[in-house]
Amino acid sequence: MNNTAEVLVVGGGVMGCAAAYHLAKLGTAVTLIEQFRIGHTMGSSHGPTRIIRLAYDGLDYVHLARESFHQWSDLQLESGTQLILKTGGLDLGSREAMYMDGILRTFDAAHVPYEILNQSEIAHRYPQFRLPEDVVGIYQADWSMLSADQCVATLASQAVVHGAKIIENEPVVKLHTSSTGVEVITRSNKYSAKKVVMAAGSWSAGILAQIGIELPLTVLKEQVSFFEARDPAQFQPVTLPLVIHHFPGTTSVGSVFPIHNHTGVKLMLDRVTPGVDPNNEDRTIDQARVDQLRNYAAKLLPGLTGRIIESVSCRYAMTPDEDFIIDAAGENGNVVVASPCSSHGFKFGVVIGAILAELVTNGATRYPIQRFRLDRPGLKGGTWQNKGAIPVFI
């Protein structure tokens, strides 16, 4: 088997598949190597849905999010697969809650249309919610759901359509770089190329440390649950908005997804547990977290029966400042590092793939990635810490 390519991509999550897709579209001979099968459930990219939104505290993120909306729609058109569904969405929280003011400032600067709703206006429009008096909602109409599993599968299949090679069930164990190229050694083979894209998600730090690249990542074992609704018609994409619920003094958030690609209403409270060892294969469901989430759901959405249809484990790879890492490193920039997670990377996947392809082929990109540099101060101050615990909601 010819194990030589122009570019190797390590990792078949949304970022690796997007990189292979864009590189193949540029006519680059690219081989993607994945330790499991594409679509597995051990990493960060699996499940029925992910949120895509413009609601960010930063113009560069809004720019990338706008571009992501376009490119997911382009991929949907190219593949004929439904990938994105508009629902509208709300950032909920008291005015003191994290990010609320930052989102408003950015919306004004980016001319993003929005509405500010108080508790009774929210209750009027969305009677499904029971909210405290002081809650404020920032409603923005473009919030949409990405069909996560389909997005990853479509990026992978379209990458192959454009000429990429995808190798599954072959874990990379070693990485060598030199001024002339890279060598990637798996449990059963050796591959060589001019450059490598490292998109290994929560496993990235271990592999990159072999070649002296330090990634200060904290891996969190996250969990979502799908709840039964008494009247499912009230929890459909046309009746229930996507929600991110912010709390004062912490970056932990609650999130609510209407019924889509599943029979249940998806809820999540994130960043409530300490970091885990990236090589720990434990994906068992934490019952204490299920009870905490059921408690939260019962108070927020009394129309849910409390019966949980399914709970799923998933991973975050957190940087200290919760911004992504996208940069070229190694000799002659022949190692392109992609650790764009920190709980909010999926929506940008298709554009981050384009950025990685440009960094590989041109050594630079037209997109704003200054904030994601490896040598930024925000990565120097130790690892991610959860700023405060989740308060008792109501």
Ligand X SMILES: Cc1cc2nc3c(=O)[nH]c(=O)nc-3n(C[C@H](O)[C@H](O)[C@H](O)COP(=O)(O)OP(=O)(O)OC[C@H]3O[C@@H](n4cnc5c(N)ncnc54)[C@H](O)[C@@H]3O)c2cc1C
Residues of this chain that interact with ligand X (CB under 6 A) are 10-16, 33-36, 42-45, 50-51, 171-172, 199-203, 207, 222, 224, 268, 314-316, 341, 343-347
Q: Which is nearer to ligand X, 82 or 120 (CB)?
A: 82
In the complex, what is the shortest distance from the CB of residue 27 to ligand X, in angstroms, rounded to a whole number?
A: 23
- Of the pair 119, 292, the CB lying nearest ligand X is at 292
Question: Whole-angstrom Cα distance, residue 258 to residue 363?
Answer: 41
- Backbone phi, then psi, for 242, in 5-degree steps? -70, 145
User: Any bridge partners for residue 6, and if so which?
Assistant: none
Tell me how far, at minimum, the Cβ of 25 lies from ligand X, in Å: 18
In whole angstroms, how close is the CB of 350 to ligand X at the nearest point?
11
Instruction: Work out how close the CB of 74 gets to ligand X at its nearest, in angstroms, rounded to a whole number.
Output: 18
Q: How far is the CB of 68 from ligand X (least distance, A)?
A: 9
What lies within 8 Å, CB to CB, of 111 at 6+ separation is: none
Distance set, CA 132 to CA 39, 260, 267, 279, 299 (Å): 39, 27, 19, 41, 10
Q: Cβ of residue 118: shortest distance to ligand X, in angstroms?
A: 26
Q: Give the nearest distance from C-beta 317 to ligand X in angstroms.
A: 7
| Inter-residue contact 177 to 213 (CB < 8 Å) | no
Instruction: Give exposure, 367-385, as e/b (b: 16+ Cβ within 10 Å).
Output: bebeebebebeebeeeebe
CA nearest neighbour of 64 among 379, 366, 338, 377: 366
Q: Is 177 or 343 the residue whose CB approaches ligand X more closely?
A: 343
Which residue's structure tokens are 């609650």?
Answer: 254
Compare residues 13 and 181 and give the one whose CB is closer to ligand X: 13
CB of 167 to ligand X, least distance (A): 9
**Would you give the distance in Å from CA 299 to the centre of its chain?**
27
User: How far apart are CB 338 and ligand X at their closest, in Å?
Assistant: 7
User: 159 or 341, CB closer to ligand X?
Assistant: 341
In the complex with ligand X, the residue whose CB is nearer, 47 or 137, is 47
Query: Cβ distance 298 to 306 under 8 Å?
Result: yes
Whole-number Å distance between alpha carbons of 376 and 325: 10
Residue closer to ligand X (CB basis): 245 or 344: 344
**Which residue is nearest to ligand X, using beta carbons?**
13
Nearer to ligand X, 234 or 343 (CB): 343
Nearest to 350 by CA among 151, 142, 59: 151
Min separation Cβ 120 and ligand X, Å: 28
Residue of 38, 392, 366, 66 whose CA lies nearest to 247: 392
DSSP state of 4: B
How far is Cα 27 from Cα 320, in angstroms, rounded to an integer? Answer: 36
Question: Quick count: other Cβ atoms within 10 Å of Cβ 346?
Answer: 25
Q: Report in angstroms the alpha-carbon separations of 260 from 51, 85, 155, 156, 388.
A: 12, 9, 20, 22, 32
Q: Which is nearer to ligand X, 135 or 148 (by Cβ)?
A: 148
Nearer to ligand X, 181 or 349 (CB): 349
